Amino acid sequence: MANVLITGTSSGFGMLMALQFARKGDRVFATMRTTAKATELQKRAAAENLKIGVLQLDILDDKSVSAAVEEATKIGGAIDVLINNAGMELRSSIEDADDDEIRRQFDTNVFGTMRVIRAVLPAMRERGAGTIVNLSSIAGIVAPPYGGFYSASKHALEAISEALHYELSAFGVRVIVIEPGAFDTQFNSNAFDARRFNETSPYHDLSQRFAASFSKLRGNGGTPADPNDVAVTTYDAVHDGTPRLRYLVGADANLIATVRKQADFEGFEAAMRQTLDWHD
């Protein structure tokens, strides 16, 4: 049985991961900024007779992170698996976003993730065992229009994860990057638009056209895939007998990544515009 700490578990991938790991017999510490939002997780866990501990953890607060890690360790012992799932998305053209909005994006997806890693990693390194899972995105490989800052934050997480992979291999600590495509979760409802990215923006109509075109890549007939696939893939990746650094999840993510690898940027752009029937 592994001790698993997961951030951002009030909904979406985080909740599904908490349930998946608990089903397999691991001791799960499901963390979230506001524990009052744990009702749905607790309801689903009770229905399956699963024991999941809920802890308050705000990835933007050093004291909150330290307290949660200390409490999880006190209850269950050393943390074996850290899953950095908490994140958010800023939707905007590059021009329309203001500095405070960009900082919010990076504070959450990059600095928040690093805050939790720093709290857990020393103990993993000292005992020569542990796994750190970072939730990235296909956007961490390919930057779409009107999602450039979210993509930049995930590109940063990809680079950090790759460097960590090299740095920690000598200490017996493994790093995993999960790269989902588009899935139907509450993450989309938690995304926010930049203040100036509205109907008055010169990019508004173009962004609406792109969103309609991009929906064609989602699953079959534009329907997003089952988000539980991400939870299952994450569990399987942690226990993979032939471990890899990166795991793509979703037909759209695999398609985009495959096309990107096979061509230079201009070739990739032409192929994607044709696939999406999206032209200026």
Please name the amino acid found at residue 141.
I
Q: Which residues lie closer than 8 Å to 166 by C-beta, 6 or more apart? A: none
DSSP 182: -
Alpha helices by DSSP H, 51-132: 62-76, 99-106, 113-127
Residues 6+ apart with CB under 8 A from 162: 177, 245
CA distance 23 to 11: 17
Known catalytic residue at 150: yes
Q: Strands 130-135, 52-56: parallel, antiparallel or unpaired by DSSP? A: unpaired
The string of pLDDT tens digits covering residues 245-263 is 999 999 989 999 999 999 9
pLDDT tens, position by position, 171-203: 999 999 999 998 866 545 568 999 999 999 999
Catalytic residue among 150, 203, 235, 247: 150
Please report the pLDDT score of residue 170 as a whole number.
97
Q: Going by C-beta distance under 8 Å and a sequence separation of 6 or more, which residues neighbour residue 61?
A: none
